[in-house]
Structure 1
Amino acid sequence: MAAQFGMRLRKGAATTAVAAVVVAALSASQAPGATVDDHGRSSAADAQSSPDATGSDEGGATGNSPYYTDLPPLNSPNPAPSPTVGTPVVQGDGEAGIPATVLDAYKKAATELAESKAGCNLPWQLLAAIGKVESGQARGGNVTADGTTITPILGPQLDGNGFALIQDTDNGQYDGNSTYDQAVGPMQFIPSTWAWAGRDGNGDGVKNPNNVYDAALAAGHYLCRNNWDLSVQADLNRAILSYNNSQDYLHTVLSWLEYYRKGTHEIPNGTGTIPSNRSDDDTTDPTPSHTPSTPSKPTHPSKPADPSTPPSTDPSDPSSPPTTPPQTPTDTVDHLEDSGTAKLTATAGEAFAKKISTKAETKAGKTVAKVRVRFTIVGTTDATFTGGESVATVVTNASGVAVAPALQAGEKTGDFTVRATVVGRSVTALDYTATVTQRVADTLARTSTTALTCVPGGEFADQVEVKATYKDAVADKVAATATLVKSADDATENDKGPYFKDADGKTVRTLKGLTTDANGLIKLPKLYADDTSGTYLLRITTAGGATLTVELTVAAPADTSPSPSPSGSASASATP
């Protein structure tokens, strides 16, 4: 059977409250940026009670599933010493050791994020801290060589009974449960979040939440969305809270983050320490304090049950009638409506000025709050949401409206679609069309004032270089065309006069596919002249309509030989 997290959360339990106080107190001493008030209560700097819903599912990556509450030892960890011949390696504190494959997955994920999202500044120790709290480092590194957990790690079903209510979104594909969702794998993603956050971290072509390489990379991208910089304490807190929206969870993760930053070492797979305390531990001892005596045989027959007495609804009583799950806001959604979204247009490489706004409504047209709306970018495009993701899930506000994150245009021009759907309910999708237009320039100017001249059959000494601007700013990556035209009034390509050469040395009088560089510059290839003298025109045009006409002169050189001297009279010869 799959390894599954244990008993339900018992709200207000005494030991849970005590644990929360201990967590807060210890986190205050170990978490960066943490403070303690006059009553000894701790709070991480700029922590917020609820994470920014932008780009995340309600309940975060895990659906606010239970987690391990064990705190790191008070003593600082020490890395394992380097082995010498004949000397056994002392592993040091077992809590500081991270199973080899799991540790490798964390480090590789952080390396990939350092390249793809350098501004996030994700430390691998943060992945290790979350992995410790979520699954005890994949249950002590109980994984295969490729990083897949030997036994699936599943959280309890999120049926609203002590947990969030998240009805099935994956038909049981990941969690084997076709009624409710469950958190899956070493980083405990719920299926609806994995659907957009999942990554292939080990390069096998599959996004598997049960694989620690895939899960670690997905967790890294999840924590790095919304342009968060995890070297900034406020952003770090927001990212952790978006993973599991709990202050105790935040403090516990920050404690392990600091602990791992002070030092850790690699240990063999399957030998890691598994935490023992969880946020859903039941504090009530189910075992009675004494053994009940055998009931005596009744001397009178039992009376039939009073028909006016309602039947038992105790779920532990097999004779109880099945209970109907409570209706959620999602269950009441009939359709999605646009909520005043303006025309979505942006220039390549720029951010869209407007955001998509979608409203969830019942059949009667009443708005529905607390519904997860998923926005997915479809079509041939490199546009993304802010943070580089192609999918974002947003919870509708009190007015029933979900506002998608800002769109960022890529370099591909044309139309694409953003599709809005309701997570956990089959309703007709709502599609929005977005358009990416090409970069443009409104002005072109030569970077030199040198006259461009050449002798017939020769080559021009100077190459033509121009600079493109748009609204007085540098216009980079703007498409342009250069053509040697017949006249100022006739833009037809000339058949004589100056010319360019292609790669094979053939005559070319039109250059297409030119693009301005990062400084808005285009430097044309060298120009040559045939044997025809005259004045010619080179016309350069950019996307957006900026045009510049450059004059070229082909003429024989002026005669610079000295004029002959007038003939004088013969000199008289001297006579002796």
Structure 2
Amino acid sequence: MSAQFGRRLYKGAATAAVAALAVAALSGSQAPGVTADDQGRRTTSDTTPSPDALADDSATGNSPYYTDLPPLDSPKPSPSAGGTGGTGTDSESGIPATVLDAYKQAAASLQESKPGCNLPWELLAAIGHVESGHARGGRVNADGTTTSPILGPQLNGNGFASISDTDNGAYDGDSSYDRAVGPMQFIPSTWEWAGRDGNGDGEKDPNNVYDAALAAGGYLCRFGWDLSDPSDLKSAILSYNNSTDYLNTVLAWLEHYRKGVDEIPDGTGTIPDDRSDDGSGANVQPSPPASQSPSTPPSTPPSTPPSTPPSTPPPSTPPSTTPPTPTDTVHHLEDADTALLKAMAGDAFGERISTRAETSAGKAVAKVRIRFTIVGDTDAVFTGGEKYATALTNSSGTAVAPALQAGEETGDFIVRTTVVGRSIPGLDYTATVTERAADTLARTGEEALTCVPGGEFADQVEVKATYKGAVADKVAATATLIKSAEDPTANDKGPYFKDAEGKPVRTLTGLKTDADGLLKLPKLYADDTTGTFLLRINTAGGATLTVELTVAAAESTTPDTTESPSPSASPSA
């Protein structure tokens, strides 16, 4: 079943313009159906298969979806951690904090496991909006599980594909027909092989936004698709729900989110109104927001007037309130004994950041998601290559960040911790990256380094650098022909190197050890001065080695031809 754009309730010409621009920019033309070529790759064709033909091979079984389009004005993110979370946010186009975190975490995971897919998190956000309005406006708990299941209509062939029950109701509670399940609307037969554990709890739950987002990313990255290629992007989206209108709607939201996203608190997002089936056949509707009650049609007025109220008003009943979530109870963040964060360029930090979530009374709060964001001019990253990571607090209220990996840029940078879904002050940690260093230098050969005046040394000097016994690669070094062991200034006579123009130089800078910690110096030459000279090599970190060089005239090899006096004749008797 394909959506009928003519039945949509657009929000003015501006919204239609957004859709037209996005589709023109990203799709380029009306997308055809999805088929497979002779290499097994899914490609586009001129004929759109029927819903039943692709239902078992799509994520959603071509279930209904939300057809509203993005507003004309893009969100304007504030300069807060992670680039989201502005004030005065738009609940219609904003993304709830936990759901946004799930999209980004899934994309980061796929970037590590399938880098050639080039999956943008904004694509997951676009599909998440179209499929469930971002888990019904972010109605999820701290683990990312929806507060109640999200189920599509029965896929019984009545306006939809016909898919008989495949899971005995395990996922969708329906033992007659399958239904799309969860914030990314997977049908049970697809979830069975595509399901993932995105939040590390050991379960694959289609109603958990972390699990569902990671599964959606894996689904979109199958068949070797490269989503930076417009053709592959269209094929992947159509495989999720085989409808040209679905493709265009997803592309419109993808373009919208690429321009900027507001992070909004969980549970405050707007649930879209317009559905591709106009609500027909959807006998299981999304639950209302947690803060609301299901709408009840007005009952027929009673035939008898209500009784006269008592003279004394009854005691008022306090309105029912939803119990606060663990996230709601967090008052502040505390450091949980994180040690000094210091690493050499290119190395992993030996310490990991630990942060504790506490109430105003200082009590630890478990099951709260903490975001760690690298801030500042640095190329340091978390394990996996990302600038941000999230972790759930344990029973002692502590969340531990993944290991930090230092880049090549030295200096200080900040890791900021914040509570996902709450606007409370973050906690900053300073991390320091120092230059690569060596503490030991040794020659790789033992041969004596000698030369005749005006000649060149037969062997080049090669050394190996180590740091605490391990290879010290890419370590900066200098080499200087010094005057004496007590005077490290450059000598003005004796051995020398040559510069690019062939002129003598006695100090080399900008040297670096290679990946094996080796440093091989250029050829050495000698002037006419004879004697013993010193070459000193220094590295960052304080390693020093002094090498002895000898310049001496060649020994004579002419044989001695002087005759010894002949013995005197013995006197005659």
Provide TM-score, normalisation by structure 1.
0.54
Structure 2 contact 195–212 (Cα < 8 Å) conserved:
no
Aligned to 1:523: 520
**Cα gap change, 1:247/1:546 in structure 2, threshold over 3 Å: closer, same or farther?**
same
Aligned to 2:99: 190
Aligned equivalents of 1:543 and 1:175: distance in 2? 53
Once the two structures are TM-superposed, the CA of residue 535 in structure 1 deviates from its matched residue by 1.3
Paired AA for residue 333 in structure 2: L
Aligned to 2:553: 556
Paired AA for residue 337 in structure 2: G
Deviation string for 1:28-64 (max 9, x for gaps)? Answer: xxxxxxxxxxxxxxxxxxxxxxxxxxxxxxxxxxxxx
The runs of 5 or more residues in structure 1 that have no matched partner are: 5-76, 83-87, 99-127, 143-148, 153-167, 184-188, 216-232, 314-320, 569-576
Aligned to 2:244: 270
Aligned to 2:465: 468
Aligned equivalents of 1:432 and 1:287: distance in 2? 48
Paired AA for residue 411 in structure 1: E
Structure 2 contact 196–204 (Cα < 8 Å) conserved:
no
Once the two structures are TM-superposed, the CA of residue 96 in structure 1 deviates from its matched residue by 7.3
Aligned equivalents of 1:524 and 1:555: distance in 2? 22
**Cα gap change, 1:441/1:301 in structure 2, threshold over 3 Å: closer, same or farther?**
closer
Deviation string for 1:282-331 (max 9, x for gaps)? Answer: 699x999xx999879x4x64434567568899xxxxxxx8x766533333
Paired AA for residue 444 in structure 1: L
Aligned to 1:58: none
Aligned to 1:339: 336
**Cα gap change, 1:495/1:240 in structure 2, threshold over 3 Å: closer, same or farther?**
same
- How many aligned residue pairs are there? 396
Structure 2 contact 490–506 (Cα < 8 Å) conserved:
yes
Whether 2:449 is the aligned partner of 1:490: answer no
Structure 1 contact 80–91 (Cα < 8 Å) conserved:
no
**Cα gap change, 1:369/1:234 in structure 2, threshold over 3 Å: closer, same or farther?**
farther
Structure 2 contact 70–93 (Cα < 8 Å) conserved:
no
Once the two structures are TM-superposed, the CA of residue 478 in structure 1 deviates from its matched residue by 2.1
Once the two structures are TM-superposed, the CA of residue 536 in structure 1 deviates from its matched residue by 0.8
**Cα gap change, 1:270/1:465 in structure 2, threshold over 3 Å: closer, same or farther?**
same
1:458 to 447, 455, 471: 455
Deviation string for 1:209-252 (max 9, x for gaps)? Answer: 6886999xxxxxxxxxxxxxxxxx99983348789961577699
**Cα gap change, 1:136/1:446 in structure 2, threshold over 3 Å: closer, same or farther?**
farther
Aligned to 2:429: 432
Q: Secondary structure at the match of 1:330?
A: helix
Paired AA for residue 246 in structure 1: D
**Cα gap change, 1:518/1:80 in structure 2, threshold over 3 Å: closer, same or farther?**
closer
Once the two structures are TM-superposed, the CA of residue 545 in structure 1 deviates from its matched residue by 2.6
**Cα gap change, 1:399/1:513 in structure 2, threshold over 3 Å: closer, same or farther?**
same
Once the two structures are TM-superposed, the CA of residue 332 in structure 1 deviates from its matched residue by 3.1
Q: Secondary structure at the match of 1:374?
A: strand
Structure 1 contact 96–260 (Cα < 8 Å) conserved:
no
Once the two structures are TM-superposed, the CA of residue 393 in structure 1 deviates from its matched residue by 2.2
Q: Secondary structure at the match of 2:509?
A: strand
Paired AA for residue 424 in structure 1: G
Structure 1 contact 174–191 (Cα < 8 Å) conserved:
no
The runs of 5 or more residues in structure 2 that have no matched partner are: 1-7, 12-33, 40-44, 72-83, 130-191, 226-231, 248-275, 289-293, 566-573
Whether 2:286 is the aligned partner of 1:329: answer no
Q: Secondary structure at the match of 2:342?
A: strand
Structure 1 contact 208–214 (Cα < 8 Å) conserved:
no
Q: Which moved more, 1:393-402 or 1:326-335?
A: 326-335
Q: Secondary structure at the match of 2:36?
A: coil
What's the C-alpha RMSD, in Å, of the aligned pairs? 5.4
Aligned equivalents of 2:283 and 2:478: distance in 1? 65
Aligned equivalents of 1:269 and 1:96: distance in 2? 13
Q: How does 1:12-161 map to 2 (within 5 A)?
A: 79=36, 132-133=59-60, 151=70
Deviation string for 1:319-347 (max 9, x for gaps)? Answer: xx8x7665333333332211211222223
Whether 2:277 is the aligned partner of 1:303: answer no
Aligned to 1:29: none
Q: Secondary structure at the match of 1:560?
A: coil
1:238 to 197, 203, 214: 197
Aligned equivalents of 1:396 and 1:138: distance in 2? 37
Aligned equivalents of 1:370 and 1:566: distance in 2? 104
**Cα gap change, 1:410/1:379 in structure 2, threshold over 3 Å: closer, same or farther?**
same
Whether 2:92 is the aligned partner of 1:176: answer yes
Once the two structures are TM-superposed, the CA of residue 528 in structure 1 deviates from its matched residue by 1.8
2:510 to 491, 501, 513: 513
Aligned equivalents of 2:556 and 2:469: distance in 1? 45
Deviation string for 1:338-386 (max 9, x for gaps)? Answer: 1211222223322222221112222222222333322211222222222
Aligned equivalents of 2:128 and 2:463: distance in 1? 48
Deviation string for 1:185-215 (max 9, x for gaps)? Answer: xxxx8345567888999xxxx9856886999
Once the two structures are TM-superposed, the CA of residue 484 in structure 1 deviates from its matched residue by 0.8
Provide TM-score, normalisation by structure 2.
0.55
Aligned to 2:407: 410
Q: Secondary structure at the match of 1:487?
A: coil
Aligned equivalents of 1:279 and 1:422: distance in 2? 37
Paired AA for residue 345 in structure 1: K
Whether 2:365 is the aligned partner of 1:393: answer no
Aligned equivalents of 1:407 and 1:3: distance in 2? 47
Aligned equivalents of 2:515 and 2:105: distance in 1? 33
Structure 2 contact 195–206 (Cα < 8 Å) conserved:
no
Q: Secondary structure at the match of 1:532?
A: coil
Deviation string for 1:1-34 (max 9, x for gaps)? Answer: 8999xxxxxxxxxxxxxxxxxxxxxxxxxxxxxx
Once the two structures are TM-superposed, the CA of residue 407 in structure 1 deviates from its matched residue by 1.7
Once the two structures are TM-superposed, the CA of residue 151 in structure 1 deviates from its matched residue by 4.8
Paired AA for residue 524 in structure 1: L
Paired AA for residue 545 in structure 1: G
Structure 1 contact 3–151 (Cα < 8 Å) conserved:
no
1:445 to 437, 442, 445: 442
Q: Secondary structure at the match of 1:190?
A: helix
Q: How does 1:281-292 map to 2 (within 5 A)?
A: 281=285
Structure 1 contact 335–427 (Cα < 8 Å) conserved:
yes
Aligned to 1:571: none
Q: Secondary structure at the match of 2:489?
A: strand
Once the two structures are TM-superposed, the CA of residue 529 in structure 1 deviates from its matched residue by 1.8
Structure 1 contact 207–214 (Cα < 8 Å) conserved:
no
Structure 1 contact 477–516 (Cα < 8 Å) conserved:
yes
Aligned to 1:364: 361
Once the two structures are TM-superposed, the CA of residue 481 in structure 1 deviates from its matched residue by 1.8
Aligned equivalents of 2:454 and 2:418: distance in 1? 67
Once the two structures are TM-superposed, the CA of residue 170 in structure 1 deviates from its matched residue by 4.7
Q: Secondary structure at the match of 2:196?
A: helix
